[in-house]
Amino acid sequence: MDSRYKQEVQRYGKKDAIIALCAFVVFCVLSVLDWVFSTHFDMQSAILPFFGRIIGIAIILVIIFVKKEGLSSIGFHTDKLKHTLGFTFIIVLAFVAFGIIPGLIYGWELNNLGMLIPVLLTTLIMAAGEDIFFVGYLQPRLHGLIKNTVLAIFVGAVCFAIAHVPIGILDYAFPMGWGAMWLVWMFGHTVMVLIFRRQFSIIPVITTHTLGNFFMGGSLWVEDVYDYDWSSAALILIFLVLMIYEIVNWRRRAKREAAHVR
C-alpha cells in the first residue's frame, strides 16, 4: 500500500497544498469553538461539543467532492480491506496488552461501562476528526508544496502540534511542560502518518489514535492513573516496527535503482 500512497501524493500541486493550509487555519479556529461550547455551555446536546469537528470535516468533504478527489483520497476505501483489518487488529492487541495488563498486575479497579463507553466514544470522535483532517487530508496534499518526504511529514507534525496550542493555552496545564508536549504531538502525528503510508487507510490510524488517547488518559481505571509509560510503550513499539519497515523498503528501492542503472 506504500506505493498507493506515493501515487496519491503525486496527484497534488501547489494549489492543493495552499487550499489545505487555508483549511488548516479554519480547523484551528473551529477547535477553539469546540472548547468554547464544551466548557461554557450547558451540554444538553450530544452534537454541540463536536460542532467544530463536524463543520471541519464537512468543509473537507466539500473540497474533495468539488475537486472530484473522492473519499478514497482521505483513506476511506475497501481496497485490501481484509489485510487492513488484520493490521488494525494487531494494533488493538498492542494497546490492550500495554493498557490493561499493568492494571491487572497492580490490582487497579476498572471503571464501570456506563462511564467508559461515553468516554471512549468521545475519544473516538475527537481522534477521528483530527485524523481525517491532518493525516488523510492535509498530509498528502503538503507534498504538492514540499517534495521532500521527511520535510513534508515534519511540517505536517508541526501543524498538528500548532492546532493543539490554543486549547492548551486556554484550558490545560501540562505537567510535562510545553516543550515535551510539542514533541509528543509531533511524534504522535508521525506515527499516524507512517501507519497511513503503510496501509493508505484511515481505519488503523483512527484506531491507534483513539486507543492511545483513551488508555493514556487513565479513564479505564477508578484510580486517578495516567499510565503514560505503559501506554506510550505500545505507541513506541508500533513506531519502531514501522520505521524498520520504511528503512527496509528504502534499502530495497535503492538496490533496485542501482541494479537498473547498471
pLDDT in tens, 124-165: 988 999 999 999 999 999 999 999 999 999 999 999 999 887
C-alpha cell at 15: 494549489
C-alpha cell at 85: 483489518
Give the integer Cα–Cα distance in Å for 231 and 188.
Answer: 13
DSSP 8-state symbol, 222: S
Give the amino acid at 10. Q
Q: How many helices (H) and strands (E) does the chain have?
A: 10, 0
Backbone φ and ψ of 43, nearest 5°: -80, 85
The total of other beta-carbon atoms located within 10 Å of residue 78's CB is: 9
Does residue 70 surpass a pLDDT of 70? yes
What pLDDT score does 234 carry?
79
Segments making up each domain of the chain, as ranges: 2-251
Check if the beta carbon of residue 150 is closer than 8 Å to that of residue 221: no
Mean pLDDT of 66-78: 92
Q: Which residue has better confidence, 224 or 61? A: 61
pLDDT in tens, 19-33: 999 999 998 888 877
Does residue 46 surpass a pLDDT of 70? no
Check if the beta carbon of residue 129 is closer than 8 Å to that of residue 56: yes
Q: What is the DSSP string of 29-51?
A: HHHHHHHHHHHHS----SSGGGH
Distance of CA 38 to the CA centre of its chain: 22
Does residue 201 surpass a pLDDT of 90? yes
pLDDT tier at 48 (50, 70, 90 boundaries)? low
Q: Considering Cα of 111, then 115, then 117, then 123, what sign does the dihedral take?
A: negative
pTM of the model: 0.86
Between 8-22, 34-48, 93-107, 213-227, the lowest mean confidence (pLDDT) is in 34-48
